[in-house]
Amino acid sequence: EGGEGRRAPFLLRALRIALVVCLYWFTSIAMVFLNKYLLDSPSLRLDAPIFVTFFQCALTAALCLGLSLGAACGPPCPGLPALRLDPKVSRSVLPLSAVFIGMVTSNNLCLKYVGVAFYNVGRSLTTVFNVLLSYLLLKQTTSLYALLACGVIIGGFWLGVDQEGAEGTLSWTGIFFGILASLCVSLNAIYTKKVLPVVDGSIWRLTFYNNVNACVLFFPLMMLLGEFRTLYHFDKLGNPSFWGMMTLGGVFGFAIGYVTGLQIKFTSPLTHNVSGTAKACAQTVLAVIYFEETKSFLWWTSNLMVLGGSFAYTWVKGLEMRKVQEDPTVKSSERSETGV
């Protein structure tokens, strides 16, 4: 009976983890495919990527506020603090919001100009920028094994660019925005740590302020790029199915933050990174099948190098963190021997 009792909770935890990981995969992959449709669908023909990003930010801010108001009317929920717009806090969050705008805009523009299958490789340098910026801004060194993993990622990226060029599908605009997106993702992580004390450490409040600031800053961008004129002449502006897809894309964009936190909560940051790497592999395969593309052996090799390098980096950092937890004195001695 004791064995049965222990087995049941284990099976329940395993089932819960499996459901959370599946939810993360589904939300993330669906969001990428939906955004690709909204940004670059031949049937939609909407050339307004900033508007699509603006709408998703506006919907995220509205959902944050709506859920907060709902929680205030019901039983108190510590995860959903009361939200109100404080101009002083908004100004303090503004530097992060500028990086956040760069991140979400360059992500969407990269997806607009490259295929879904190449999207993971196109913005694969986030790990490399993490290492570089950690050294330049935070003076944190990185072990030799982690640097070797970064080298594999860079090699996979350049091989992927070469193979996209050989197949005639290379977009240098997409590559530029992919590199910019990788840089902004790294900067966003660093600035988030600096700005969190301003919002009392609440990711929920930070998400709200970030998206409100983004909505305000997107207006001059849309005006400068002539997207209001594009929307005026857009033939599906009154089509309910178009707004349904826009709303669905915004909901998935909002949900990805929640399911990411959920996956980390029920597994670990290391498992989350491994899951993200596996998800990227599945997303690439699904994209090739869905869009009926034929890829060369070297093209697949570039993807495997990026995924393998990312997995190796995650694994190495996980082992280093475990070693530091077991013996905190190891950290400084290891860095003096193998760090750069």
% of the chain residues with pLDDT over 90: 52
Query: For 169-180, what is each residue's pLDDT tens digit?
Result: 899 999 999 999
**pLDDT mean over 230-247:** 92
Q: Tokens 């190495």 map to which residue?
A: 316
Identify which of 250, 310, 245, 300 has the alpha carbon closest to the alpha carbon of residue 277: 310
* Average pLDDT score, the chain: 86
Least confident of 45-49, 77-81, 135-139: 77-81
> Residue 74 — very low, low, confident or very high, per pLDDT cuts 50/70/90?
low
pLDDT at position 134 is 85
Record the tokens describing residue 259, joined without a space: 């399911």
**pLDDT mean over 121-147:** 88
Cα distance between residue 39 and residue 43, in whole Å: 11
Query: In terms of C-beta density within 10 A (0-12 exposed, 13-18 middle, 19 or more buried), how is residue 136 classed?
Result: exposed
> Residue 332 — very low, low, confident or very high, per pLDDT cuts 50/70/90?
very low
- Contact 298/62 with Cβ under 8 angstroms? no
Find all residues with CB under 8 Å of 262, minimum gap 6, and list them. 20, 23, 24
Identify which of 201, 207, 318, 328 has the alpha carbon closest to the alpha carbon of residue 268: 318
Query: For 35-72, what is each residue's pLDDT tens digit?
Result: 999 999 988 989 999 999 999 999 999 998 888 877 66
**pLDDT mean over 65-91:** 74
Record the tokens describing residue 183, joined without a space: 């840089």
Neighbours of 106 (CB within 10 A): 22
> Does residue 321 surpass a pLDDT of 90?
no
Cα distance between residue 14 and residue 26, in whole Å: 18
210: enclosing H helix or E strand: helix 203-224
> Residue 75 — very low, low, confident or very high, per pLDDT cuts 50/70/90?
low
DSSP state of 114: S
Question: Between residues 80 and 36, which one has the greater pLDDT?
Answer: 36
Cα distance between residue 282 and residue 288, in whole Å: 10
Neighbours of 319 (CB within 10 A): 14
Query: In terms of C-beta density within 10 A (0-12 exposed, 13-18 middle, 19 or more buried), how is residue 47 classed?
Result: middle
Record the tokens describing residue 28, joined without a space: 């993330």
Cα distance between residue 288 and residue 117, in whole Å: 6
C-alpha distances out from residue 169 to 36, 166, 272, Å: 16, 8, 32
Question: Between residues 124 and 269, which one has the greater pLDDT?
Answer: 124
Q: Tokens 């905190």 map to which residue?
A: 328
Find all residues with CB under 8 Å of 338, minimum gap 6, and list them. 143, 144, 145
User: What is the distance in angstroms between the CA of the first residue and the CA of the last residue of the chain?
Assistant: 55
Looking at beta carbons, which pairs linking 135-141 to residues 24 or more positions away fall under 8 Å? 137/190, 138/190, 141/335, 141/339, 141/340
pLDDT at position 111 is 93
Counting Cα atoms < 13 Å in the Cβ hemisphere of 122 gives 29
> Does residue 337 surpass a pLDDT of 70?
no
> Does residue 287 surpass a pLDDT of 70?
yes
> Residue 154 — very low, low, confident or very high, per pLDDT cuts 50/70/90?
very high
**pLDDT mean over 290-304:** 92
> Does residue 339 surpass a pLDDT of 50?
no
